[in-house]
């Protein structure tokens, strides 16, 4: 890495602990809770600052309003089976103006995609093993 970039990073990371405090406050305001993983990750202030700052920026892109970003987070959490994240992001979506019906529709769409993923993979294997069409020989 170029020495000037190393210096920029070192200067940034010199403030990692303070940045971490601010990130925790901002995330709590944004989603209404401090994720439990933060307490453990804070043991590594430099990694915590870099990782959570990136996550924070990704979770609120300029191209999406906060409501839409939270609805996407709900779908992603549902698809990943991340129950704690799902609960947090459903509450955050409500806070950002999403309706109960919108959240339910997002969950139903996520479930439909999950079902389709299982079917697409399983039915490909079914076709390989059982052949094409009714009564196909193995």
Sequence-separated (6 or more) residues with CB below 8 Å from residue 69: 59, 60, 61, 96
Contact 94, 126 (CB under 8 A): no
Residues of each domain in the chain carrying CATH 1.20.1290.10: 66-138
Greatest alpha-carbon pair distance for the chain in Å reads 70
pTM of this structure: 0.83
Contact 106, 71 (CB under 8 A): yes
pLDDT per position as a tens digit, 23-82: 999 999 999 999 989 989 999 999 999 999 899 899 999 999 999 999 999 999 999 999
Mean per-residue pLDDT, 12-23: 91
Q: What is the CATH number of domain 66-138?
A: 1.20.1290.10
């Amino acid at each position: 890495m170029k020495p000037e970039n190393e210096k920029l990073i070192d200067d940034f990371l010199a403030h990692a602990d303070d940045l971490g405090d601010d990130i925790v406050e901002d995330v709590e305001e944004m989603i209404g809770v401090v994720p439990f993983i933060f307490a453990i990750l804070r043991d590594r202030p430099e990694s915590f600052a870099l990782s959570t700052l990136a996550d924070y920026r990704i979770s609120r892109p300029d191209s999406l309003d906060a409501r839409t970003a939270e609805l996407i987070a709900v779908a992603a959490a549902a698809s990943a089976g991340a129950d704690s994240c799902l609960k947090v992001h459903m509450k955050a979506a409500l806070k950002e103006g999403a309706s109960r019906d919108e959240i339910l529709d997002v969950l139903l769409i996520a479930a439909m995609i999950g079902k389709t993923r299982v079917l697409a993979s399983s039915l490909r294997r079914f076709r390989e093993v059982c052949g094409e069409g009714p009564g196909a020989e193995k």
